[in-house]
A and B are shown apart, each in its own frame.
Chain A
Amino acid sequence: MVGRRNSGIGGGGRPGTWGARLLAVAFWLAAWQLLAWAVDSRIVLVGPLEVLARLGSLVVTAGFWASVATSLGRIGLGFLGGVACGLVLAALAARSRVVRALLAPLMGALKAVPVASFVILVLLWVSSRELSVVIAWIMALPIVYTNVLEGIEQTDAGLLEMAEVFGIGALERARMVYLSQVLPYFRAAVSLALGLSWKAGIAAEVIGLPDLTVGEHLYDAKVYLDTPGLFAWTVAIVVVSVALEALVSRGLDAALARWEARP
C-alpha cells in the first residue's frame, strides 16, 4: 500500500521514482519559464509554453512529418547499414587475426575523428542528400563492431568445448552458442548507436542542408532568428530520439524474451 501511495504513476520503476522524476522535470521547466520571463527577449530565450505552442503548430503540418520521415528514413538506412556491416566485420574479425589487425586502425579512426570533420569530408564525396546516410553509418559501424567482437571473444570456452564434443555444426554453433552469448552485447550496441546515429545525422543535415529535412529546418530557424522554431525542432529531435530508443529497446527485449522462452 505504501508503494502504491508513493508511486504516483503506474507501471515500472520503484515506488516514488516516477513521481520524483516528474517533479524534477517540472522544476526545471518552471525555472526555464521564469528565466524566459526575466530575460524578456524572444530572440535570446523563449519559454517552454511558447515552444510547446510552436511545436503544436508544427505537428499539424504535413511538412513537419515529411521532414521527420525523410530524416528518419535516411538516418535509419545508414544506421541499419552500419549495424549490418558491424556484425559481418565482427564475425570476420573473430575468425581471422589478419582481418582484425587490418580493421583495428580503421575502427579506431572512425571512433576518434570528430563528427564535424567527417561531415565536411563526406560532403566532398557525396551529395548532401546522402550525407546523413553515410554519417549515421559511420556512427553505428564501430560501436556495433566493437561490442559484437567483444561478445564473441567473451564466449565461454567451456561452451565451445561442449559444442565440439557433441559435434554441433558451425551454423548451429553460431546460431545457438555464439548468438546467446553475443545478444546482450549487440543489444547494448544498438541502443547506444541508435542515439548517436540520429544526433550525428541531424548535425550532418544542419551542415549539408539537404531539402526538407529536420536539419534544414533547424538551420533555417537559426538564420531567421526564429528562436521558438529552433527550440521546437530541437524538442522534436529529442522526442524522436527518446521514442526511437524506447521502441527499439522494447522490440529487442521482446524478441530476446521470445527467443529465450521458446521450448
Chain B
Amino acid sequence: MSCLELRDVTKRYDGLMVLSRASARLEEGRAHVVMGPSGAGKTTLLRLLAGLEEPDAGEVVRPAGLRLAMTFQEDRLLENLTATANIRLPHGRLRGRELASFLELERAALLAAGLPVDARPVRELSGGQRRRVAILRCVLADADALLFDEPLKGMDEKTVRQVMGYVLPRLEGRTVLWVTHDERERDLFDDPVLWTVRGGCVRRAPM
C-alpha cells in the first residue's frame, strides 16, 4: 500500500534541473532510506512530498488527511520556548491531564536523548542539543509519515546511539523517509527500502 508517491515529477530551480521525471512509491508503515551525494535533490524530494514545493511537471500524491512530521536541515525551533514547549507544538493546546501525561512523555524522551529537563528556552541550548529537540518533536508528533532530512548530521557516535536508542522503537510501523548521505545510517533500520537520488533520478536500490 502506498502512503506517498511521486509520479513523473520534474523540478527546476532557476532553470537548473534538480529532479527529472522522478517517480517513487513509498510503502506505508516502512522505513525508507534515501541516499545520494550532496546537491543531488534529496531535500527537494522531501520538500515536494511535504507539500512545501510544487512540481514543475508531474504529480505528488498525498492521501487526504495524511499527517506529516519533519525534521529539516535547520532545527526550526521556537527560540524563546522551552524544549518541552517546542516538542509539544504539533499537539496544539493541551490542558489538564492530557498536558500532564504528555509532559511526562516529553521529560522521559529528553532524558533518554541526553537532554536537560529545565525551564531554559532552547536558544540557550547547544547546537547538538537543539538538533535532538527537533528530532524528538518529529518523533513524538501524531504523524502518519515522518520525514527526516539528515537528522544526525554532525552528531558523534555516542550521541547517535543514545538518540536512536529512543527514536527507533518509536518509528516501528510508521512510514519513515530518512534522507542521509552517510551509508552507516542505512544500517540503523531493519530491512529499510533503499532509494538513491542521483542525476535528477530517484531509483529504488537493490538490497
> A167 touches which one: B79, B90, B121 (CB < 8 A)?
B90
Shortest C-beta distance, B53 to chain A (Å), equals: 10
> A164 touches which one: B52, B67, B84, B103 (CB < 8 A)?
B52
CB distance A162 to B141 under 8 Å? no
CB distance B52 to A166 under 8 Å? no
**Is B39 an interface position by the 8 A CB rule?**
no
CB distance A167 to B76 under 8 Å? no
Which residues of chain B are near A162, meaning CB under 8 Å?
70, 72, 76
CB distance A158 to B74 under 8 Å? yes
Which residues of chain B are near A165, meaning CB under 8 Å?
50-52, 68-70, 147
> A262 touches which one: B50, B82, B141 (CB < 8 A)?
B82
Q: How far is the CA of A133 from the CA of B76 in the complex (A)?
A: 43
Q: How far is the CA of A165 from the CA of B72 in the complex (A)?
A: 10
Q: How far is the CA of A176 from the CA of B84 in the complex (A)?
A: 13
**Is A172 an interface position by the 8 A CB rule?**
yes
Q: How far is the CA of A262 from the CA of B103 in the complex (A)?
A: 11
**Is A159 an interface position by the 8 A CB rule?**
yes
Which residues of chain A are near B52, meaning CB under 8 Å?
161, 164-165
User: Contacts A164-B52, A168-B92, A263-B119: A180 and B70 contacting too (C-beta < 8 A)?
Assistant: no
Which residues of A, 154-179, contact B by the 8 Å Cβ criterion? 156, 158-159, 161-169, 172, 175-177
CB distance B51 to A176 under 8 Å? no
**Is B80 an interface position by the 8 A CB rule?**
yes
CB distance A263 to B82 under 8 Å? yes
Which residues of chain A are near B85, meaning CB under 8 Å?
176, 262-263
> A180 touches which one: B50, B74, B81, B90 (CB < 8 A)?
B81
Chain A count of residues within 8 A CB distance of the other chain: 22
Chain B count of residues within 8 A CB distance of the other chain: 28
**Is B111 an interface position by the 8 A CB rule?**
no
Which residues of chain A are near B81, meaning CB under 8 Å?
176, 180, 260
Which residue on A lies nearest to B47, using beta carbons?
A161
Shortest C-beta distance, A174 to chain B (Å), equals: 12
Which residues of chain B are near A159, meaning CB under 8 Å?
76, 78
- Residue interface mask B69-102, A partner, CB < 8 A = 1: 1101010101111101100011011000000000
Q: How far is the CA of A242 from the CA of B17 in the complex (A)?
A: 61
Q: How far is the CA of A162 from the CA of B103 in the complex (A)?
A: 21
Which residues of B, 23-40, contact A by the 8 Å Cβ criterion? none
CB distance A166 to B51 under 8 Å? no
Q: How far is the CA of A159 from the CA of B50 in the complex (A)?
A: 14
Shortest C-beta distance, A7 to chain B (Å), equals: 27
CB distance A183 to B82 under 8 Å? no
Which residue on A lies nearest to B50, using beta carbons?
A165
> B92 touches which one: A164, A169, A183 (CB < 8 A)?
A169
- Residue interface mask B58-73, A partner, CB < 8 A = 1: 0000000001111010
CB distance A168 to B76 under 8 Å? no
Q: How far is the CA of A169 from the CA of B67 in the complex (A)?
A: 13
> A183 touches which one: B68, B80, B141 (CB < 8 A)?
B80
CB-defined A-B contacts under 8 Å, sample of 25 = A156-B76, A158-B72, A158-B76, A161-B52, A161-B72, A165-B50, A165-B69, A165-B70, A166-B68, A166-B69, A166-B70, A166-B90, A166-B141, A166-B143, A167-B68, A168-B89, A172-B93, A175-B93, A176-B81, A177-B78, A180-B80, A261-B82, A261-B120, A262-B85, A263-B82
**8 closest A-B pairs by CB:** A261-B119, A166-B90, A162-B76, A165-B70, A263-B84, A180-B78, A260-B80, A165-B50
